[in-house]
Amino acid sequence: MSSSLPALSNSLQSYLAQIRDHPVLSREEEYELAMRHRETGDLEAARKLIVSNLKFVVRIANEYKNYNVNTLDLIQEGNIGLMKAVRGFDPTKGYRLISYAVWWIRAYIQNHIMKSWSLVKVGTNQSQRKLFYKLRSTKNKIEATGAEMEEDIYSEIAKELDVPDSQVIEMDRIMSGKDLSLDANIEGSTERTYVDMLGDTFDQEQFLEDSQARPLVAKKIKEALANLKDRERYIIERRILTDSPETLEKLSRKFGISRERVRQIEKNALNKIRKEFQKEHFHV
């Protein structure tokens, strides 16, 4: 499917130049191509669906630019998510492709971030993962007001999560690591940024309300959870489907089993959920 797609090289500028001129499809064009691919497996139709949405993947990837992961890598992962979405997209449901695909684009990008952080032993234990997301949420709120992080804010986060102030400061330093930003000026220009290269033709209406795609995912999760055993469901709900995940230690005490056994149950339950999604061509 991807043999004729724009190639990701070592240059973000070169890649943006390749994708900027691909037109955005109308609803009618998208529907026709999606039906051709769904009914006949037409790979050229799939390719057109993908390239028309590559600019959107770049914009999503740019939202994660402060996570200290290479932007081109994030775009690559987002593109994989987009391709997965094209394979499972059903245009007869009435929503646009990007509304369906945004979930898979984000999922692949976020998964890559966590894997990358794990490689450098950051965010690999429970407290660090909670710190990772809490700090990011707090920084977003503060940046939205135009203010900056202050020492007392670090202390508040550290106290809430029961970690040393030094860990919060170090995590902030890592998250603020420099990478090629899409908002940076293009070399040789003091005015144009990399995002400007995408042009103004991106149709914001393509990004339909998340509510159009959310019910599909929520319904499937509910069905998948119903098929789990009580203990599996409890562990998934307390470990995955919550903003404040419980530790393996706490769950091991509750069920009178080892932490490793809790981890195995969680892994097996996630595999069951994944299979439920794949039955309906949801690729997770």
Burial of 77 (C-beta count, 10 Å sphere; 0-12/13-18/19+): buried
Averaged pLDDT in 10-residue chunks for the chain of 284 residues: 61 83 89 95 94 92 78 90 92 88 86 64 58 72 63 77 78 55 47 46 38 58 86 87 76 90 87 72 46
N- to C-terminal Cα distance for the chain? 18
Give yes or no for a contact between 69 and 179, defined as CB atoms under 8 angstroms apart: yes
**The pLDDT value given to residue 119:** 43
Q: Which residues contact 25 (CB under 8 A, 6 or more apart)?
A: 33, 48, 49, 52
**The pLDDT value given to residue 196:** 47
Query: Taking the CB of residue 262, how many other CB atoms lie within 10 A of it?
Result: 24
Whether pTM > 0.75 for this model: the answer is no
Put residue 246 in one of left, alpha, beta given phi > 0 → left and psi -120 to 50 → alpha: beta
Q: Which of 184, 146, 171, 175 is nearest to 66 (CA)?
A: 175
